[in-house]
Amino acid sequence: MLILGRRRGERIIIETADGIITILPVMIDGEQIRIGIEAPGHIAVDREEVYRRKQREKIMRAYMVFDREAGPAEGAVLVFHHTAQAAKSLGWRTVQAWTTAEWTDVSAKWIKNGEEELAEENNVDLKGHPRMIESPKACQRCELWGRTPLNAFGVCEFCDMEEEFEERHTR
């Protein structure tokens, strides 16, 4: 990292292929430093935490949205969205329509690290628009989805392991 010493009011100029970025220390107050930044309009300038959040939010996550009271085994939709709150909003109408209850409290469970396989199985572009899938591609045996990636026969890892077990013990 390049470290440059500057006094208040002294600029640093960064020349980039996209234009010039000017950095100006405005005020120093103990641990706090206020910095003025000038950059071309198409260059995003963010605090690191905001930048990281934006990066994260570019790629959608996969959520299992279901009736909180009934639980996901009673039915769930697959929602690709950026946050759990947004996934709930997209999925709740469908989940609500399954019950006779006047109001369904829905839950959105992030399927941790499952988005890539689920997106592939359901032809979803994770960098595209939010999507709800009412009948995601499910395991051929247990009819559940989101447990594990499906193998070439469309069977989840749990059922696949059971099959192997049964085979071994019926021989």
Minimum distance, C-beta of residue 146 to Zn ion, in the bound complex (Å): 11
Determine, following the binding rule CB under 5 A, whether residue 87 of this chain makes contact with Zn ion. Answer: no
Per-residue burial over 114-130, b if 16 or more Cβ lie within 10 Å, else e, is: bbeebbebbebebeeee
As a whole number of angstroms, the distance between CA 74 and CA 98 comes to: 10
Q: How many CB atoms lie under 10 A from the CB of residue 163?
A: 13
- Closer residue to Zn ion, CB minimum distance, 89 or 160: 160
- Closer residue to Zn ion, CB minimum distance, 119 or 156: 156
Among 60, 87, 95, 156, binds Zn ion (CB under 5 A): 156
- Closer residue to Zn ion, CB minimum distance, 90 or 159: 159
φ/ψ (deg, to 5) at 101: -65, 145
Site for Zn ion in 13-42 (CB under 5 A): none
Determine, following the binding rule CB under 5 A, whether residue 150 of this chain makes contact with Zn ion. Answer: no
Determine, following the binding rule CB under 5 A, whether residue 141 of this chain makes contact with Zn ion. Answer: yes
Q: Which two tokens stand for residue 7?
A: 């006094």
Determine, following the binding rule CB under 5 A, whether residue 79 of this chain makes contact with Zn ion. Answer: no
